[in-house]
Amino acid sequence: MSEPVIGLEIHLAVRTASKMFCGCPAESFGLEPNVNTCPVCLGLPGSLPVTNGEAIEKAVRFSLALNCRVPERTQFHRKHYFYPDAPKNYQISQFDRPVGEHGWVELEGGRRIGITRCHLEEDAGRLVHPAYADHSLVDLNRAGTPLIEMVTEPDLRTPEEARAFLTHVQAVARALGVSDASPEQGKMRADVNVSLRQADGGLGTKVEVKNLNSFKSVAAALAFEIRRQGTLLEEGREVAQETRGWNEGGQRTYLLRSKEESADYRYMPEPDLPPLVLERAWLERIAHTMPELPGGKRERYLALGLRPADAELIAFDVEVAAFFDAAAAAYDGEPQKLANWLVGDVAGLLNAGGRTLAETGLRPEALAAMVRMIDDGAISGKIGKEILPDLVAGEAPNAVVARRGLNVIQDEDALAGLVDKVIAANPEVVASVAANPKAINALLGRVMQESRGTARPDAVRRLLQQRLGLETAG
């Protein structure tokens, strides 16, 4: 048997107001082409880069959150290569002094995945290939926007684990406000490398799959490569060292290029930017203003008594976690009850409407108040499900219940009236109760129906037993 050995290289678009080395706005998604450009990010001669302090701070924060060592000095290098959407013919990146090194992430179950390095660099522009033309167009809005490149040790073993790792990193980036980390907007992209280690411990040949733009594609590409390489080895053939692409439609990888000489990028220290000294006091201030991270949240939720799967789901979604915390602060019952609603009916409603929590009118206090009403017996769980869409539309639970007349019948007289009505309307069932005590359930069902589900079944049963002279029955 062979074992997959997987490493990831992840690019995250850093959320900053301006680009990495100039004052142009950093947002490039969905804009007219080339509106956010200037002499620096167009690579015009004589222009000089200025480092964006916000990008440095965010990259440092991210590195610290991933348990990386942050050096006292960090430095930018020029990485030379030609590509039509990189107008300077080099990219300002980092080489031997990245902002973070030697970190790790602990996955659920305690598996530690090593992080080789996190460095900052500038993104390239975009080539557009219009269907109507025999040429390509260049859009430089994205050129010069800040990117964090993060490289892992080859510690991952399965496609599922790679996916869990990506979800973890995404949640950390979002919790810190470092990146939107949205693959669908190209703000989180991954390359993977995978080889098969033989039973005798011999390392396999590494294949890289580039430009995967969803977590699902990462898992699917890895599963395909593990199968492909496994088949080659079983047939006694060799795995070639190569770079492959991913065909989403065909769900398979394809050859992009076979191994060339490793590229010589002629890295040189960026002469226009002096090395940056990261002062200890500044680093400590960042370390002390770190928000709670998803891993810590998960632990806190487990301590509150949440089921592990729910703790994981809530902790690793920044928005849901903030909502849960606010609801739990407004509720003094068992937090798991709130979690049940959040990961169950609320999530179901959001999925059905293709919305996020923020895009609805649901307030944490409203959910807490509704669960409290159920605890108090003011409404049943069934009524809770019925009024949830009104809460999602922004109403308060007591207002919906009053407006729709859904109060559980607490009034014994009103309930007794319903019970008498049902007894009078069903003489043959009443007659059979003496011989068959279970027939009382048929009457109970009709009273519940009459009350439109708002009566409390235990109270109805007690009244029926009284009226039919069955008080001693259980």
Binding site for Zn ion (CB under 5 A): 22, 24, 38, 40-41
Pairwise CA distance, residues 235 & 206, whole Å? 18
Nearest approach in angstroms of CB 21 to Zn ion is 8
Q: How far is the CB of 26 from Zn ion (least distance, A)?
A: 10
Which lies closer to Zn ion via its Cβ, residue 22 or residue 64?
22
Taking the least distance from each CB to Zn ion, the nearer of 38 and 396 is 38
Q: How many CB atoms lie within 10 A of CB 404?
A: 13
**Cα–Cα distances in Å, from 383 out to 133, 347, 397, 447?**
59, 18, 10, 16
State in angstroms the smallest separation of the CB of 90 from Zn ion.
16
Our CB check for Zn ion shows the closer of 19 and 174 to be: 19
Cβ distance to Zn ion smaller for residue 40 or 105: 40
**How many CB atoms are located within 10 Å of the residue 46 CB?**
5
Residue by residue, DSSP assigns 296-358 as: HHHHHHHHTT--HHHHHHHHTSHHHHHHHHHHHHT--S-HHHHHHHIIIIIHHHHHHHT--GG
User: Of 146 and 364, which CB lies nearer to Zn ion in the complex structure?
Assistant: 146
Task: Give the nearer residue to Zn ion in terms of CB position, either 44 or 137.
Answer: 44
Q: How far is the CB of 38 from Zn ion (least distance, A)?
A: 3
CA distance linking residue 107 with residue 124, whole number of Å: 32
Residue 217: closest CA among 192, 254, 185: 192
Q: What is the largest CA-CA distance in the chain?
A: 101
Give ∠ CA 417-421-422 in degrees, rounded to 5. Answer: 120
Nearer to Zn ion, 24 or 218 (CB): 24
- Total Cβ atoms within 10 A of residue 363: 19
Least distance to Zn ion, CB of residue 12, Å: 20
CA angle 97, 101, 106 (to 5 degrees): 165
Closest CB to Zn ion among residues 21, 324:
21
**Beta carbon of residue 61, minimum distance to Zn ion (angstroms, whole number):** 24
Distances in Å between the alpha carbon of 158 and those of 103, 249, 348?
20, 22, 29
Residue 47: CB minimum distance to Zn ion, A: 9
**Closest approach of Zn ion to the CB of residue 81, in Å:** 20
**Cα(174)–Cα(12) distance, rounded to whole angstroms?**
11
Length of the chain in residues, anyone?
474
